[in-house]
């Protein structure tokens, strides 16, 4: 069994990005800039945005966090987005989700210029990705594909089972794993809360992507010997022995599943770091105008 070390690979990618930024600075060029919008005081959102800001610093990017009160109206938020769309010094920006319920998230996502949509949530980017055109791919699936690529995991002709069908993880994963070329060329089954015989389906998988948000859902009896297991889940569970009072729990019952796997991602240190670094990669792509020219 080999661990898919997301922390290590993310550091490798970060080094490559930072080296490019050093060259840009040496040539007197503008430095890439990522902006994050955050509304309200949700603890998890604050942590995610802080992580993204830190990653920007490590890559040598400029970054800004625009913080707004929970009371901001949808219209006011749309005005902020229009400003960022027009600002030529901003290469990419993200709106940290979730937003307060009164604000229509879809409307906000669709207001972002697809050329600056480094989260890859805009329907234009989603659509382009599904038909294999250059696009910004949502950071978590992009990070998983990068991990498979860098560990040279053979995916061609394999049966991949994706558990979860969200628009930011499960569905793009399904598309990317079935795309033509490496890593891809899988036969993909997508499972969700209405799937029958999920145990039996998982047992036939060469590759399992668990992205449902149920701690320790995937048990050893659901995994065949030699499978590749990617654990996307991160749920905060109470823990008396940590300073914060909680710890992050994956969707895989790691201790019993790991011995059966050929490769497995740990939680933390697997998909999480790859997600953040993929956002940085997308920002550099936006700076270099690689997707839309």
First to last CA, the chain: 42
Which helix (H) or strand (E) element contains residue 194?
A: none
In a 10 Å sphere around its CB, with 0-12 CB exposed, 13-18 middle and 19+ buried, how is residue 22 labelled?
A: exposed
Find out whether 202 and 252 touch, Cβ atoms under 8 Å.
no
Catalytic annotation on 96?
Answer: yes
- Looking at the Cβ atoms of 112 and 198, the one nearer to ligand NAP is 198
Q: Does residue 192 bind ligand NAP (CB under 6 A)? A: yes
Span near ligand NAP by CB under 6 A; candidates 31-39, 208-216, 258-266, 278-286 = 208-216
Q: Where are the beta strands (DSSP E) in 172-232?
A: 187-191, 207-210, 228-231
- Out of 169, 202, 218, 261, which residue is the one contacting ligand NAP (CB under 6 A)? 169
Q: Does residue 168 bind ligand NAP (CB under 6 A)? A: yes
Taking the C-alpha atoms of residue 50 and residue 6, their distance in angstroms, rounded to an integer, is 19
Q: Which of 33, 80, 96, 179 is catalytic?
A: 96
Span near ligand NAP by CB under 6 A; candidates 18-26, 84-92, 226-234, 257-265 = 226-234
Taking the C-alpha atoms of residue 233 and residue 285, their distance in angstroms, rounded to an integer, is 27
Q: Does residue 92 bind ligand NAP (CB under 6 A)? A: no
Q: Does residue 232 bind ligand NAP (CB under 6 A)? A: yes
Cβ count near 191 (within 10 Å): 21
Tell me how far, at minimum, the Cβ of 192 lies from ligand NAP, in Å.
4
Catalytic annotation on 107?
Answer: no
**Count of residues interacting with ligand NAP (CB under 6 A):** 25
Q: Which of 5, 52, 179, 253 is catalytic?
A: 52
For residue 260, what is the DSSP state? G
Q: Does residue 165 bind ligand NAP (CB under 6 A)? A: yes
Catalytic annotation on 62?
Answer: no
Tokens standing for 115? 């050329």
150 contact partners, CB below 8 Å, separation of at least 6: 9, 12
Q: Which of 119, 206, 231, 251 is catalytic?
A: 119
Q: Which residues are catalytic, by number?
A: 52, 96, 119
The contact set with ligand NAP (CB under 6 A) reads 140, 163-166, 168-170, 191-195, 198, 211-214, 232-235, 271-272, 275
């Amino acid at each position: 069994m080999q661990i898919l070390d997301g922390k290590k690979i993310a550091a490798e990618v970060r080094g490559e990005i930072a080296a490019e930024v050093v060259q840009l600075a040496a040539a007197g060029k503008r430095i890439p800039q990522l902006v994050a919008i955050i509304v309200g005081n949700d603890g998890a959102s604050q942590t995610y945005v802080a992580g993204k800001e830190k990653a920007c610093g490590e890559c040598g990017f400029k970054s800004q966090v625009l913080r707004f009160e929970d009371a901001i109206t949808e219209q006011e938020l749309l005005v902020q987005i229009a400003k960022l769309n027009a600002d030529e010094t901003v290469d990419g920006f993200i709106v940290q989700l979730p937003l307060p319920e009164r604000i229509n998230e879809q409307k906000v996502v669709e207001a972002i210029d697809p050329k600056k949509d480094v989260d890859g949530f805009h329907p234009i980017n989603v659509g382009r990705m599904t038909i294999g055109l250059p696009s910004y791919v949502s950071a978590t699936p992009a990070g998983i594909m990068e991990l498979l690529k860098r560990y040279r995991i053979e995916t061609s002709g394999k049966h991949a089972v994706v558990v979860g069908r969200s628009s930011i993880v499960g569905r793009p994963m399904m598309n990317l794993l079935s795309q033509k070329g490496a890593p891809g060329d899988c036969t993909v089954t997508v499972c969700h809360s209405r799937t029958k015989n999920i145990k039996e389906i998982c047992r036939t998988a060469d590759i399992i992507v668990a992205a449902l948000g149920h701690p320790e859902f995937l048990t050893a009896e659901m995994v065949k010997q030699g499978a590749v297991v990617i654990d996307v889940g991160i749920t905060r569970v109470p823990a008396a022995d940590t300073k914060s009072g909680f710890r992050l729990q994956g969707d895989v019952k790691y201790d019993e599943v790991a011995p059966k796997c050929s490769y497995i991602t740990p939680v933390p240190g697997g998909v999480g770091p790859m997600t953040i670094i993929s956002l940085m990669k997308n920002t550099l792509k936006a700076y270099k105008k690689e997707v839309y020219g």
